[in-house]
Amino acid sequence: MDSYKITLSEQELPQEWYNLIPDLPTPLPPYLHPATGEPIGPQDLAAIFPMELIKQEVSQERWIPIPDEVRRIYQLWRPSPLHRARNLEAALETPARIYYKNESVSPAGSHKPNTAVAQAYYNKAAGITRLATETGAGQWGSALALACNFFCLDCTVYMVRVSYQQKPYRRSLMHIWGASVYPSPSDRTQAGRHILARDPETSGSLGMAISEAVEDAATHPDTNYSLGSVLNHVMLHQTITGLETKKQLALAGEEPDILIGCVGGGSNFSGFCFPFVPDKLRGKEIRLIGVEPTACPTLTKGAYTYDFGDTAGLTPLILMYTLGHSFVPSGIHAGGLRYHGDAPLLCLLVHEKVIEARAYSQNPVFEAARLFAETEGIVPAPETAHAVKAAIDEARVCKETKKAKCIVFNFSGHGHFDLAAYDAYLEGKLEDIEIEPDEMIKLALADLPKIKK
Ligand SMILES: Cc1ncc(COP(=O)(O)O)c(C=O)c1O
């Protein structure tokens, strides 16, 4: 019988996360202090992060044990299934074998709880009682609300204003799990008030919401900040997806030719691909493709330079591809992909040409999502649909070249709370944001911080 799903038992849940840092082809440049231009130390981060996460951020250990308390919560939905997309393959008449790792089975509907649960655990262990965070489309906010609910922590979420309006049911989900949710920019923080004074009609951005959450955490001793992507420890926690996928592909007797994921801050893509990077560095022919929106083309059009992680300039300086921390992307429905920068680990690998990047606009992405929903049944989140589109494009290339490649992508989340976006697509009302934001990028890049030497 042809199988559609490759599953692992709960006993096969990985016991350790994989840390790519010791296996990098070149060392990862440090975060810098904006005032001095010097590398920051653990104490600089201790005001808003627990020490265990700070240690993970810089760890040189290849394998980091997953605490039992975290594994027990993972077990509620993990290991997640790896699906063979046989119906999609048939519809495309491709000789390619397409697989997708289904992270939409988590309670919050995406990969985000993989790090939310770990972060809530380490903060609780450090005696923190509240976490503050930002969220774009609401996937990360709902994941952290879920995790805080399990560990009895309060949770404050600054939700990008355009998504707060577009996705009311994500808000409901966060409320069910006990979080407080505010549209960002808000008047609760100095950063928010400052932005509102300059531009009262702003649609908001992840950079602005990060400024608000960081300020909230830094000004309350019982509160820490929690970030849903970008940082090394977030990539680390997400490697659970790639590690499971490796085991599942081995069970299916497969070696991947192409691995694909969408990129917002880089966590689902990195967690999925990083366990395969050492294979590639040892000479295995695997293409790793990160996919982003043309409306926020960080990897494909950004500059590789030090920049702030947030709009107000409260974070350390990070070496990454960036569109400039003042860049405000248009209000596309893939709200989780509207971030001006990307994870430094991922950016280093793009810079070293280990990872490729490409960008798509909204309508072709939704067209691919619809074909996926028609054939495989699951409605992808608009973010995830970027990966779906790339997988379909690669499968079509296989049809032309008659090559039977093994294409595997990370299905990072479902779109059950994004149905207004699908309505807009079906009614032909979705704008293709092809404004070629080159001018906006140029302006935002002119605003880059000057590094003191
Ligand atoms: C379903 C889904 N996929 C992908 C992303 C992009 O984030 P990251 O690049 O950190 O995985 C998001 C962000 O919110 C998301 O909600």
C-alpha neighbours within 13 Å on the C-beta side of residue 76: 15
Residue 435: pLDDT band (50, 70, 90) is low
Q: Mean of the pLDDT values across residues 59-74?
A: 98
Question: What per-residue confidence (pLDDT) applies to 440?
Answer: 84
Question: What per-residue confidence (pLDDT) applies to 431?
Answer: 81
How much is the mean pLDDT over the chain?
95
Query: Does residue 268's CB lie within 6 angstroms of at least one atom of ligand 1?
Result: yes
Give me the phi and psi of 5, to 5 degrees please.
-135, 140
The Cα–Cα gap between 220 and 377 comes to 45
Question: What per-residue confidence (pLDDT) applies to 338?
Answer: 87
Q: Which atom of ligand 1 is nearest to the CA of 140?
A: 14
Q: Does 27 score more than 70 pLDDT?
A: yes
pLDDT tens sequence across 145-171: 999 999 999 999 999 999 999 889 999
Q: Mean of the pLDDT values across residues 15-23?
A: 98
Question: What per-residue confidence (pLDDT) applies to 129?
Answer: 98
Q: Mean of the pLDDT values across residues 213-229?
A: 97
Give the distance (Å) from ligand 1 centre to CA of residue 425: 20
Is this structure's pTM higher than 0.95? yes
Residue position matching structure tokens 């997806």: 241
Question: What per-residue confidence (pLDDT) applies to 137?
Answer: 86
Residue 332: pLDDT band (50, 70, 90) is confident
Give the distance (Å) from ligand 1 centre to CA of residue 267: 7
Share of the chain above pLDDT 90, in %: 89
Q: Does 420 score more than 80 pLDDT?
A: yes
Per the CB < 8 A criterion, the answer to whether 275 and 243 are in contact is yes
- H helices present in 31-130, as ranges: 42-45, 51-58, 68-74, 86-92, 113-125
Query: Does residue 142's CB lie within 6 angstroms of at least one atom of ligand 1?
Result: no
Question: What per-residue confidence (pLDDT) applies to 282?
Answer: 97
Question: What per-residue confidence (pLDDT) applies to 171?
Answer: 96
Give me the phi and psi of 369, to 5 degrees please.
-65, -40
Q: Does 231 score more than 60 pLDDT?
A: yes
Q: Which residues pair with 158 in a beta bridge?
A: 134, 182
Question: What per-residue confidence (pLDDT) applies to 254?
Answer: 97
Residue 436: pLDDT band (50, 70, 90) is low
Q: Mean of the pLDDT values across residues 224-244?
A: 98
Per the CB < 8 A criterion, the answer to whether 238 and 272 are in contact is yes
**Pocket mutation for ligand 1, best pick of 236, 337, 340, 365 (most atoms within 8 Å of C-beta):** 337
Q: Which atom of ligand 1 is nearest to the CA of 139?
A: 16
Q: Kindly report the protein residue whose alpha carbon is nearest to atom 4 of ligand 1.
A: 383
The Cα–Cα gap between 183 and 204 comes to 9
pLDDT tens sequence across 119-149: 999 999 999 999 999 998 899 999 999 999 9
Residue position matching structure tokens 């207004």: 420
Question: What per-residue confidence (pLDDT) applies to 374?
Answer: 98
Q: Which atom of ligand 1 is nearest to the CA of 384?
A: 3
Residue 403: pLDDT band (50, 70, 90) is very high
Q: Does 2 score more than 90 pLDDT?
A: no
**Pocket mutation for ligand 1, best pick of 174, 240, 267, 289 (most atoms within 8 Å of C-beta):** 267
Residue 56 one-letter amino acid: Q
Q: Dihedral, CA atoms, 26, 304, 198, 202, nearest 10 degrees?
A: -90
Number of H helices, E strands in the chain: 19, 15
pLDDT tens sequence across 339-382: 999 999 999 999 999 999 999 999 999 999 999 999 999 999 99
